[in-house]
């Protein structure tokens, strides 16, 4: 099951370019109609924290309120946890992975505070369209499909539910002057090599090398 999720979640997911980011948000609201508040908040939360969609869709209003009070999210990421469980027979003494801690910035705090206002703690924060009284969360695959269609509407390819995390990582990399260690820590990766692969740095180097070699031939 986990493998199927990761295949569609990651794939060739692309980050949302800076010059199309605001347009993407506007189009998401326009496309979402009566679910605009939910969809925009889930997108912004994923983009601002870098959590995978599977770790966000099941959050409750109470969990978000608690995070706001603490000033950070502390979430056990499904991917690392499932990998740990599946490898327990081989490495029985391996420590359970730590929860990933992400601080809440001022802008995200404002968005979240407005979003949870008046909502009940036990409700899912991002309920399914078919849910009654917020008793069923939106499925990550359904939300991924929404982001894909929004991306296509403004000419972006390979946009999916993993794109907010990719955008988060790309922005940290660019704004930190290419600090791979900072990105690695932010994403909770085990190695810088994993981070390089995630960002597609080696592929970009190959493209740049081809351009340089192509000059003045």
- Three-state secondary structure call for residue 78: helix
pLDDT grade, residue 3 (50/70/90)?
very low
pLDDT grade, residue 38 (50/70/90)?
very high
> Do the beta carbons of residue 51 and residue 73 sit within 8 Å?
yes
> What per-residue string of b and e applies to 81-112 under the rule 16 or more CB within 10 Å gives b?
ebeeeeeeeeeeeeeebeebebebeeebeebb
Report the relative pairing of strands 100-103 and 72-75 from DSSP bridges: antiparallel
> What per-residue string of b and e applies to 50-68 under the rule 16 or more CB within 10 Å gives b?
bbbbbbbbebbbebbbebb
pTM: 0.86
What is the mean pLDDT of the segment spanning 141-147?
A: 97
* Greater pLDDT, 148 or 98: 148
* Greater pLDDT, 147 or 197: 147
Residue 152 in any domain: the answer is: yes
Residue 193 in any domain: the answer is: no
pLDDT grade, residue 134 (50/70/90)?
low
Q: Which domain holds residue 170?
A: 2-175
Rounded distance, CA 97 to CA 85, Å?
10
Model confidence at 11: pLDDT above 60: no
Strand pairing partners for 127?
A: 137
Rounded distance, CA 99 to CA 65, Å?
18
Model confidence at 5: pLDDT above 80: no
Residue 199 in any domain: the answer is: no
Report the domain count for the chain: 1
Phi, psi at residue 177, to the nearest 5°?
75, 30
Count CB neighbours of 2 within 10 A: 15
What is the mean pLDDT of the segment spanning 165-189?
A: 94
Residue 107 in any domain: the answer is: yes
Residue 15 in any domain: the answer is: yes
Report the CATH number at residue 47.
Answer: 1.10.443.10
Question: What does pLDDT average to over the chain?
Answer: 90
Q: What is the DSSP string of 150-167?
A: HHHHTT--S--TTHHHHH
Residue 214 in any domain: the answer is: no
In order of 47, 76, 94, 97, 167, the CA distances from 87 in angstroms are 30, 17, 9, 12, 30
Residue 148 in any domain: the answer is: yes
Model confidence at 206: pLDDT above 80: no
Residue 20 in any domain: the answer is: yes
Model confidence at 2: pLDDT above 70: no
Model confidence at 23: pLDDT above 80: yes
> Do the beta carbons of residue 134 and residue 123 sit within 8 Å?
yes
Closest C-alpha to 43, from 116, 157, 147: 147
């Amino acid at each position: 099951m986990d493998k199927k999720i990761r295949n569609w979640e990651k794939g060739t997911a692309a980050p949302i370019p800076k010059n199309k980011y605001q347009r993407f948000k506007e189009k998401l609201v326009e496309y979402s109609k009566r679910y605009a508040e939910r969809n925009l908040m889930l997108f912004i939360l994923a983009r601002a924290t870098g959590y995978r969609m599977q770790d966000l869709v099941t959050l409750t209003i109470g969990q978000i309120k608690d995070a706001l009070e603490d000033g950070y999210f502390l979430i056990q990421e499904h991917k690392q946890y499932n990998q740990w469980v599946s490898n327990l027979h081989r490495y029985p003494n391996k420590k359970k992975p730590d929860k990933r801690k992400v601080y809440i910035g001022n802008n995200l705090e404002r968005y979240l505070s407005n979003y949870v206002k008046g909502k009940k703690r036990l409700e899912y924060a991002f309920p399914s369209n078919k849910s009654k009284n917020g008793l069923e969360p939106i499925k990550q695959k359904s939300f991924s499909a929404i982001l894909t269609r929004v991306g296509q509407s403004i000419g972006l390819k390979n946009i999916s539910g993993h794109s907010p995390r990719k955008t988060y990582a790309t922005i940290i990399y660019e704004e930190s002057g290419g600090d791979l260690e900072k990105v690695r820590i932010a994403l909770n990766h085990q190695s810088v090599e994993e981070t390089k692969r995630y960002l597609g740095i080696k592929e970009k180097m190959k493209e740049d090398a081809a351009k340089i070699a192509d000059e003045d031939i």
